[in-house]
Structure 1
Amino acid sequence: MTDATGATRSLLASWAYALRTTNPPPGPVERLDAVTRWIVVSRAAVLPMTLVAGLVAALLAIGEPGMDWRWLVLALVGITLAHLANNLMNDLYDTRSGSDSADYPRALYAPHPILSGLVSLRALVLASVLVNVADLAILVVLTVARGWPVVAFALAGFALSVAYTAPPVRLKKRGLGEPDVLVVWGPLMVCGTYYCAVGHLSWPVLLASVPYGLLCVAVLMGKHTDKAPYDEPLGIRTVPVLLGQVRARNATLGLMVAFYLLVGLAVLLGAMPWPALLVLLAIPRLVKVWPYFRRPPPDEPPEGFPVWPLWYAALAWLHTRQAGALLVLGLAVGAILRTVAR
């Protein structure tokens, strides 16, 4: 193996590790390559949540009147950039407000972009501006193609993303961050992408947008449950802080169960094709993580656990990843059957 081949494999391994764990490979951050550095800074490991939401919309749109692949692809890029910008801006606002510190979970489960020295404050601001400018350009193109509703979807998503952590609203601090995520990753992303693809909406699409949004909220509920001991002294009243640990864990389980119930209802009412019921194959994963939500977290992380002190968030993400993938697979099968039937 040549030195060039070895270097390439090392880079690919570094990128894969960062995408899988949200962390850089072990070693000094000063030695990280630029791609790994920005994968970590942007929290690109969680972008698949947005990709799945977009794919739900795309697979529902296939075969519908007015479907245009150009605007669908552009919308998928747009929501992914919006998520990326949201991650960058959240770190900016939380750092400036003093919420993020060296002993707060954001700097413990992964290197904090600024506090760890991965990037400078100026670089983070510049990256946020560039991503938002690129998203604005996409918004202009899609608005010309599909009309003013695109602006409504985009502005609503941007406003809720900024208000999540930015003063003076700071929805996260007021127990409204979780409903915010449900609206953004459910109706706004799915319905907005669907509208860009076909130029119209219907109630079945709205119903079909909700189940995956619940899974995204379940991950956030797990994360906020992990962070509750840190958030409560700071006056950050997330839903888990308001509910308490036991009720918050039970509520998270309820969200995961509700996902299956809503998918079943969507299939029954014709909002999703019957192959969407493939999500039922993820129930064994839910059964596996269920007992962990019924008891307190361990005192120490398991060996090799990469995102400690996040515990329930990681468990919820394992379920969401599998259930989301099966939902996409089921909708893809449904789209194929629908296309063949026509």
Structure 2
Amino acid sequence: MPEPEVVASRYARRALWKAAIKWPMYAVAVMPVLLAAGWRLGRGELVRPDQLLLFLLAAVLLLAWENLANDVFDADTGVDAQGKPHSVVNLTGRRDRVASLANGCLLLGLALMALVAWRSTPAVLALVLACCGLGYLYQGPPFRLSYRGLGEPLCWLAFGPLATAAGLLALGPAGARAIPWKQAIELGAGPALATTLVLFCSHFHQVEEDSVHGKRSPVVRLGTARAASLVPWFVALVLAFEWAPVLAGQWPLTALFGVVGLPPARALIGLLRAHHAQPEKIGGSKFLALRFQALNGLGLAFGLALGPWLLP
């Protein structure tokens, strides 16, 4: 029978791997195309299920590349050496293998996205390549724009207009030429801001480590108190972007279903207001932000899709 210390070590390592895989984070990858599907269904259009499934799988693979590549790049700068035991590089001790796995996810994800584009329009692949380019600018050398506090705008652009436009084209009729920027911005602005909030909240518990290694995240620049005071404005702007089309009569009232994300948003605001400067108490803040992002986005997508069925 294993010694208690051995059992405890196994459970601890299993918990670290669970944190490293970050499976809840993949809600941010799939949200743009789910919103696109809800929008098209709400307009009485057919959604091609094969395209939807291919896009979802490709999006998950591309986010896996982003996460693994970020672990590799952070290992190079040393920012994860002490404060992130669940880094895949730290867990395996094999930067080379993690880099190879990341590149494999990238190639397979792009191959699947190329298939989606071939079955719809080449613009899909171009938009997704732009998203990947922003992902590399975020953390990859020599740019490392996240170290300059520019990660949040890049996040909004990638998961907002670009990914949403790609989703709208992928699920639409084959051969479409014009990129639906207006619809993509209108549909993606609020949910992408919720995704950006997840990134913003991931900085609170590692301010000291980021400062030491020259990573000037928005929370480092503003300080935890001022940064925490911005979180209610993030939530308010997400809802404002989503409610404006409803008030203008462009979306059905059921689009307000996105409010199901408010309970975790309120919990997040309260947590950061009370403990913004206590890293040991706010490590889970990004997961509250993620719960808000996922529930809000799913509520909006279902609300758009169900509008014609539930409203006369």
TM-score range, shorter chain: 0.7 to 0.9
Partner residue of 2:302? Answer: 332
Contact 2:258 2:297 in 1 (8 A): yes
Residues 1-342 of structure 1 correspond to what in structure 2 (within 5 A)?
Answer: 27-28=9-10, 40-62=19-41, 63=43, 65=45, 67-101=47-81, 103-104=82-83, 106-107=84-85, 111-117=86-92, 120-198=94-172, 199=176, 201=180, 203-270=182-249, 272-297=251-276, 299=278, 301=280, 311=282, 314-322=284-292, 324-338=294-308
Code of the residue aligned with 1:138 in structure 2: it is L
Q: Are the structure 2 counterparts of residues 197 and 220 from structure 1 closer, same or farther at C-alpha, using a change threshold of 3 Å?
A: same
Contact 1:50 1:83 in 2 (8 A): yes
Contact 1:85 1:128 in 2 (8 A): yes
Give 1:182 deviation, angstroms: 1.1
Unpaired stretches in structure 1, ≥5 consecutive residues? 1-24, 303-310
Give 1:50 deviation, angstroms: 1.9
Give 1:284 deviation, angstroms: 4.1
**CA distance in structure 2 between the partners assigned to 1:296 and 1:30 by the alignment:** 25
Deviations along 1:76-102, whole A, 9 cap, x unmatched? 22111111110011111111232221x
**CA distance in structure 2 between the partners assigned to 1:75 and 1:47 by the alignment:** 13
**CA distance in structure 2 between the partners assigned to 1:31 and 1:99 by the alignment:** 21
Code of the residue aligned with 2:89 in structure 1: it is I
Contact 1:263 1:272 in 2 (8 A): no
Give 1:138 deviation, angstroms: 1.1
**CA distance in structure 2 between the partners assigned to 1:96 and 1:29 by the alignment:** 28
Q: Are the structure 2 counterparts of residues 45 and 328 from structure 1 closer, same or farther at C-alpha, using a change threshold of 3 Å?
A: closer
Q: TM-score, normalised by structure 2?
A: 0.84
Q: TM-score, normalised by structure 1?
A: 0.77
**CA distance in structure 2 between the partners assigned to 1:68 and 1:281 by the alignment:** 27
SS of equivalent to 1:227: helix
Give 1:114 deviation, angstroms: 2.2
Contact 2:160 2:191 in 1 (8 A): yes
Code of the residue aligned with 1:331 in structure 2: it is A
* Deviates further, 176-185 or 132-141: 132-141
Contact 2:190 2:239 in 1 (8 A): yes
Give 1:39 deviation, angstroms: 5.4
Code of the residue aligned with 2:169 in structure 1: it is Y
* Deviates further, 139-148 or 259-268: 139-148
**CA distance in structure 1 between the partners assigned to 2:262 and 2:310 by the alignment:** 30
Deviations along 1:248-304, whole A, 9 cap, x unmatched? 1112221112111111113223554321212334434433432332234475846xx
Contact 1:208 1:272 in 2 (8 A): no
Code of the residue aligned with 2:67 in structure 1: it is N
Contact 1:282 1:319 in 2 (8 A): no
Code of the residue aligned with 1:208 in structure 2: it is L
Give 1:179 deviation, angstroms: 0.8
**CA distance in structure 2 between the partners assigned to 1:92 and 1:275 by the alignment:** 43
Code of the residue aligned with 1:317 in structure 2: it is F
Q: Which has the higher helix share?
A: 2
Q: Are the structure 2 counterparts of residues 337 and 257 from structure 1 closer, same or farther at C-alpha, using a change threshold of 3 Å?
A: closer
SS of equivalent to 2:90: coil
**CA distance in structure 2 between the partners assigned to 1:258 and 1:341 by the alignment:** 26
Unpaired stretches in structure 2, ≥5 consecutive residues? 1-6
Q: Percent identity?
A: 20
Give 1:148 deviation, angstroms: 2.6
**CA distance in structure 2 between the partners assigned to 1:246 and 1:299 by the alignment:** 11
